[in-house]
Amino acid sequence: MSFVGKLLVVLQVVLSVCFMAFAGAVFATHTNWKQENAATQAKLDSKTSQMTALQNRYEQLDAETEKLTAELEKERDTLVAEVQNLTNENNQYKARQNDHENHANVAQEQTRIALKHAESRTNEAVTLRKENKQITDSRHEELKERLRLEVALTAEKEKTALLNETLKNQLRDIAQLKSALRRAGLSDTPGPIAQAPPQDVDGRVKRVKKNRRGTVDLVEVNIGSDDGLIKGHTLTVYRGGKYLGELRIVETSTDMAVAEVLSTAKIGLIQEGDNVTTKL
């Protein structure tokens, strides 16, 4: 029941109570019933008119209430639809928020992995810098050693050039002496020497000198007086275990000697790099 209906019911109850009170008063005072009846009828008519007015007002209010109720229901439906839309939007927002959180977690994990890789790269860079420094230091040392060796090589070349010049002069002197001996009718082959060559002296052929016929007549070896060799000592030449010939020392210095070829094998000529020894 609506508020207006309740109001009318209460109004009817009040009117009924008033009417009963009025009847009781009439009965109690014993007044003129006709006059009183007329007055009461007038009042009743007035109350009926009021009741009719109230009934009309009630119907008007009821109509307005129904209209208002319809409007409120329409607004309620609109609000329900808006609430539903807001709920859907809220759910979508939560879904997007969850997606953003997932993306943020993925990005955080990727960032952690990237930082780990960056740390690894940094460690590798530090290691590479250390290795590069070691390589650079090693190259500097190698360059220093190379420079030292180049200086030593230059000195050796100068020494070798001087020795070559000395060797040429000595060979020229030897050739002149041999020619003078042959012209005098003397043998240019020296006799046996009293001192035997030292044992276990090995070396290599550094250079050979060929005559006009293309055969080797003089050989330079890399062993000399520091190894116990003197003029007249003999050396055996071999290559890979094969005998190539015999040499005789004609000139020595501290670390080299010049020898003439006494005999050669038929398997090949004496060449630079062949082995020489006093063992055989």
How many CA atoms lie less than 13 Å away from 266 in the CB half-sphere? 0
What does the pLDDT look like over 12-61, one tens digit per residue?
888 888 878 877 776 666 555 567 677 777 888 888 888 888 888 888 88
Which amino acid is present at 133?
K
Question: Do 251 and 172 contact (CB within 8 A), yes or no?
Answer: no
Determine the distance from the C-alpha atom of residue 258 to the mean position of all C-alpha atoms in its chain, rounded to a whole number. 63
> What pTM was computed for the model?
0.33
Whether the pLDDT of residue 101 is over 80: the answer is yes
pLDDT band at residue 193 using 50, 70 and 90 as cut-offs: very low
3-class DSSP state of 267? coil
Cβ density class 162-185: b for 16+ within 10 Å, e for less: ebeeebeebbeebeeeeeeeeeee
Distances, alpha carbon 213 to alpha carbons 56, 175, 176, 209, 210, in Å: 160, 16, 19, 11, 8
